[in-house]
Amino acid sequence: MDMMTWSLRFLLIAAAAMIPFMAACQAKSGAGPHPHAPRAKAVARPDARSVPAHVQTAEYLWSKTEISTDPQTYAPYLTWAYPTYSRFGAVRSAGIKTVLYINPLMPHTHSDYDYIRLSRDYPQAQARDCQGNPVTAYRGTGLLLDVRSAQAREAVNAVVNDYVTRVTRDGESPGAISAVFVDNANSFYGVQPMPCGFNQDAWTSAMDAALSDIRYPVIVNSLSVHPNQVPAKIAGVRGRSVMGAMYEECFNDRQWLAEEKAQIETVAELRRLHKPAGAGFWCYLNGTTADAADAVAQRLYAYASFLLTYDPAYSVFQESFSTPSTFKVMPETQFVPLAPVLAPRSVDELQSNGGAYAREYRYCYYRGTPAGACEIAVNPGSGSVPVPNAASYRHSMTLAGEGVLDGGSVRFDSAVPSELGPQSAAILVR
């Protein structure tokens, strides 16, 4: 055998021996392609003037401090707000979009107008069982509107008019209302028994009809479900007046896959329907009043999970952590990734070889200042996984302190961790 043949054989043997080593290194680093995720369309770097100062945010401006504070204080950090009735005009004039809360579909006894309307004025529209008995909600303390009823639309419109009249009674203009939030839409908390002849698809379609005459864009609270129920609930955004839907306890209820699935599929449906940008997928992390400074790990995990599949034109992020100022918007919401590299059809397409879920963005910003490319990495699992870092990012984001008005801060000088513990995340930058 000549020297050239020996050399070629040696190279082939050496290459074969390196394959397990390379695979082991790849698994250890968490690197690896997403073989099924389509790449997003490449876009030019955004003009600096078009970069948002923060992702879409939201807050209940209901505390004594928030009611007495000039809304201009909140305007640089806030997109959507629920004001008190007498503050709609001031909040809207500050450039903050306003939301009017109503609950006509499943009213509770403590509601302002909803329960009275259904129990007193529209008893024929109450949902009933197959024996003709009224169906109750909240384990006996509420009622359920039968959206299939011929009076359902009239009952909803009566409640909307009640609340709008309440706003205008304090001298506010109806035009100061940007959107209406319909709580407990397509939801059945504590409903016993289910309405006679109940069918989920037919109920969703009837709900759309019942809400169709509302003269404001509607946000329905309907997405907090198990993963296999997400498609049926997302169907609710197809309604003529519906602009989007909320997921409560978002990334705070051990339903991580459902939340990611809901965000991807809700945004896809809104885009398919050519619905205008706005509050399309409202991720509300409630169910906690923990002090924001004591919850930085949870905050980072939740915000990174949100960013993993968000769309800046349609996604809203709201939190409920306590702060000294009572204003519950956090400084990390000023970190805005744009132009994703991948356009996943499912969150599974973002899972790296090592187990973490990751997505890169071409242009990332903090307070409008460029931070270069970035990567969002999340581990929703119960064991540690390696951090995927094929692009060799050198730094990661760290949070400290309280809310955006309380001295809370974001830094980008920490080292990139080698692994993510259970229920944790990292945001990597250059």
222: Cβ contacts below 8 Å, ≥ 6 apart: 185, 186, 187, 233, 236, 245, 246
Q: What is the DSSP letter of 417?
A: P
Split at pLDDT 50, 70, 90, the class of 12 is very low
Give the DSSP H/E element, type plus range, for residue 221.
strand 218-221
Whole-number Å distance between alpha carbons of 261 and 268: 11
Q: What value does the mean pLDDT take over residues 342-361? A: 96
Q: What value does the mean pLDDT take over residues 18-22? A: 41
Each residue of 363-378: b (16+ CB within 10 Å) or e?
A: bbbbeeeebebbbbbb
Strands (E), 23-112: 56-60, 80-82, 97-102
Q: What is the pLDDT of residue 35?
A: 55
Each residue of 32-70: b (16+ CB within 10 Å) or e?
A: bebeebeebeeeeebeeeebeebbbbbbbbeeeebeebe
70 or 171, greater pLDDT: 70
> No. of H helices and E strands in the chain?
9, 18
Q: Per-residue pLDDT tens for 107-122?
A: 999 888 999 999 999 9
2 or 288, greater pLDDT: 288
Q: What is the pLDDT of residue 30?
A: 57
In total, the chain counts a number of residues equal to 430
25 or 263, greater pLDDT: 263
Question: What global pTM score does this model have?
Answer: 0.91
Reply yes or no on whether the pLDDT at 284 is more than 50.
Answer: yes
Whole-number Å distance between alpha carbons of 135 and 144: 6
64: Cβ contacts below 8 Å, ≥ 6 apart: 326
- Residue 26 tokens, joined: 């790849």
Q: What value does the mean pLDDT take over residues 313-335? A: 98
Any idea which residue has 């946000």 for tokens?
219
Instruction: List the beta bridge partners of residue 291.
Output: 322
